[in-house]
Every structure is written in structure tokens, then in C-alpha cells.
């Protein structure tokens, strides 16, 4: 497997990670293929991961190409000097924008730590398919910006406000996941890291990396939300309230 390279220089490499592959080996996984090993083989050199994405999440994934860059970027992530942007499809119609400020614990017995996610609804749709006692099914396409980096933060935060991510088999709503599989032929979690902005470890200049949607997510965005291929752009200036109703 080879990856789409979004940015590469002598110290950094960013790829557009596909869904369904883990970043590196895990004691709890049985996967035989990982991003780190494949990217190392693709570039012909060692790589250092500086952050991670879940197996089911696609999008911008950044690696350092030397230990010094890895240390510098690790400090940037730890000190929240990196801006992270995601696109997600969630059940229901969210507000136009909002903030989820809800502490999260890494493990069940661990002390919860502060966690905050800002979000904006980019578009919405209503499908003429009964689900959960309702005659139709409503969904929102949202841009999410986590200010902290807790485990599964976006997924857990949207569950907390009852707008579960579509395709999330851990924190999601099975009824809506099944609807997307049966009626939209979508079998993945609809969460995509579309933007990463950070200071370059060599000279401190601000670097912004973007990854377009592709595959099932791009198709669902186009068909259900009339969303363009470019990340971060509203679907249509004609629909000022962001709502699109499918009949």
C-alpha cells in the first residue's frame, strides 16, 4: 500500500491516511499492516509518528523524518500549538455552532481531564427513511476543532450531546449506522482529519496541510449533502441556513 503525500521536505512528511489501517502496532490489535511500516518502505527511510489517528479515521497524518523534528513537533502538540480540523457526519441536526466542554477519562477509573471541542454545522440533510420511531432521518455535516487531544475525543463528545458519529461502532448509534450501510452503501466511520496547521520545526513558519475527502465519505457528502470535493467550503451559498432536504 502506498499513500498520498500531502507534504514532504527534509524533516516532515504528511500523508492522507486511508480509513481502516492502524498507525502502528498495538498490543490489543491483530492487524498485519500499519501506516508506519508502509510509509517507511514507500520513502525508503525511517519515520517518527508525532500524533495518531484511529484506525477508522482518515485524513492528515504527520510524521517527522528525524528525532529532532519529532521532539519539536511532539512539544507543539503537547502545548496545543497545533490547530486540528475534522469533518464528520453526525445523527440529528446540530446547532449552527457550539462548544462541547466535557472532561474525559482515558480509562474507566482514571481521573477525567479537561476536554473541549468547538464545532460548526456546515450542512444538513433529511432522508425519507424511518428510523428510531421517526418518519425521516436527519443528519449534519460538521466541522470539528478539538482544542485538547483526549482519546476518541470527537467521537465521545458528540455522543455526549446525542449527535453520535455515523459509522462509529463503539460510541455511535447502531440504528443510524445500519441505515447508512443499507441505504447509502457506506461501511466506514465518517470522521476525516481535513486540516492541520503547525509551526515548522526548522524555522517556525506556519504550515497548513489539508486533505480532501475521498472514497465513501466523499460520495456520501456529495449525494446526501451536496458537498463539494474541496474541504472546508460550504455546499451552496443559496442555502444560507445550511439545510438540504432529500425526498
Instruction: List active site positions.
Output: 54
Count Cβ atoms within 10 A of the Cβ of residue 247 and give its class: 0-12 exposed, 13-18 middle, 19 or more buried.
exposed
Please name the residues in contact with 67: beta carbons below 8 A apart, sequence gap of 6 or more.
Answer: 48
From 94, 80, 205, 89, select the one nearest 147 (Cα to Cα).
80
As beta bridge partners, residue 90 has 140, 165
Phi, psi (deg, nearest 5) at residue 25: -65, 150
Asked if 155 contacts 110 with a C-beta cutoff of 8 angstroms, the reply is: no
Amino acid at each position: 500500500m502506498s499513500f498520498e503525500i500531502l507534504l514532504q521536505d527534509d524533516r516532515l512528511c504528511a500523508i492522507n491516511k486511508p480509513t481502516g489501517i492502524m498507525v502502528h502496532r498495538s498490543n490489543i490489535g491483530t492487524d498485519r499492516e500499519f501506516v508506519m511500516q508502509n510509509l517507511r518502505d514507500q520513502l525508503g527511510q525511517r519515520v517518527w509518528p508525532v500524533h495518531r489517528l484511529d484506525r477508522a479515521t482518515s485524513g492528515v497524518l504527520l510524521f517527522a523524518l528525524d528525532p529532532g523534528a519529532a521532539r519539536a513537533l511532539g512539544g507543539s502538540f503537547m502545548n496545543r500549538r497545533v490547530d486540528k480540523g475534522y469533518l464528520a457526519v453526525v445523527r440529528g441536526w446540530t446547532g449552527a455552532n457550539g462548544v462541547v466542554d466535557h472532561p474525559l477519562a482515558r480509562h474507566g477509573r482514571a481521573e477525567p481531564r479537561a476536554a473541549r471541542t468547538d464545532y460548526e454545522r456546515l450542512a444538513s440533510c433529511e432522508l425519507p427513511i424511518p428510523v428510531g420511531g421517526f418518519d425521516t432521518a436527519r443528519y449534519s455535516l460538521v466541522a470539528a476543532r478539538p482544542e485538547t487531544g483526549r482519546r476518541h475525543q470527537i467521537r465521545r463528545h458528540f455522543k455526549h450531546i446525542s449527535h453520535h458519529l455515523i459509522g462509529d461502532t463503539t460510541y455511535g448509534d447502531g440504528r443510524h449506522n445500519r441505515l447508512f450501510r443499507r441505504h447509502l452503501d457506506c461501511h466506514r466511520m465518517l470522521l476525516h482529519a481535513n486540516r492541520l496547521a503547525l509551526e515548522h520545526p526548522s524555522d517556525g513558519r506556519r504550515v497548513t496541510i489539508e486533505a480532501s475527502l475521498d472514497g465513501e465519505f466523499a460520495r456520501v457528502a456529495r449525494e446526501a449533502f451536496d458537498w463539494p470535493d474541496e474541504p472546508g467550503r460550504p455546499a451552496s451559498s443559496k442555502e444560507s441556513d445550511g439545510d438540504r432536504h432529500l425526498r
